[in-house]
Amino acid sequence: MINFVTHNLNKFNEINAIMENNKIGISMVKLEYEEIQADSTEYISNDSCKKLVNVVDSPYFIDDTGLYIEDLNGFPGPYASYVQETLGNKNIIKLASGSKAYFKTVISFYYNRIYQFTGILHGKISDRERGENKFGYDPIFVPENSDQTLAELSLEEKNRISHRSKAINNLISFLIENNIK
């Protein structure tokens, strides 16, 4: 069993579906830990993961995800959580409708040391909120080669293309190569 430290049920459900398809068991661990502020998601994620050594049973991992909007010079990037709470999707549309953007997920996995796995999804900011699956920025993010927002896709459809699924599939290849369960 692998521990996934997160408070975010949407993240857990997306990742758990992919893990189940690969017959890998994960357990959701809700824990408070302090996140440093920095410009690099990889750096923040590495620092958070280190703080959990001897706190959470290994192997464990965390998911840090940022949204990078081209017209806003990469903002909010790693501040995605704070900006979602303060500005929200309506204000992001006012600021950046039509802009290219991408999501980046960094998975930091601890097993004797930290390993990182990354996934990116390119797309653009829509002109209005669309979709029923209201997870964070999903209602305003239209992936490349799609007319629908991520919130209009089912969990399975999102998992076929998403930043998170790419990062997790990289982790899964590593788990299989190293026979980690």
147 is catalytic: no
Based on the shown chain and the rule CB under 6 A, indicate whether residue 164 belongs to the binding site for ligand ITT.
yes
Task: Identify which range of 15-23, 108-116, 124-132, 136-144 contacts ligand ITT by CB under 6 A.
Answer: 136-144
Of the candidate residues 15, 26, 64, 107, the single one contacting ligand ITT (CB under 6 A)? 64
- The DSSP code for 147 is S
Q: How far apart are CA 89 and CA 103, in angstroms?
A: 15
3-state secondary structure labels for all residues of 87-145? CHHHHHHHHHCCCEEEEEEEEEEEECEEEEEEEEEEEEECCCCCCCCCCCCHHHEEECC
Based on the shown chain and the rule CB under 6 A, indicate whether residue 3 belongs to the binding site for ligand ITT.
no
**Scanning residues 22 to 51, which ones bind ligand ITT (CB under 6 A)?**
none
Judged by the rule CB under 6 A, the positions of this chain that interact with ligand ITT are 6-8, 11, 63-65, 80-81, 84, 103, 135-138, 150, 164
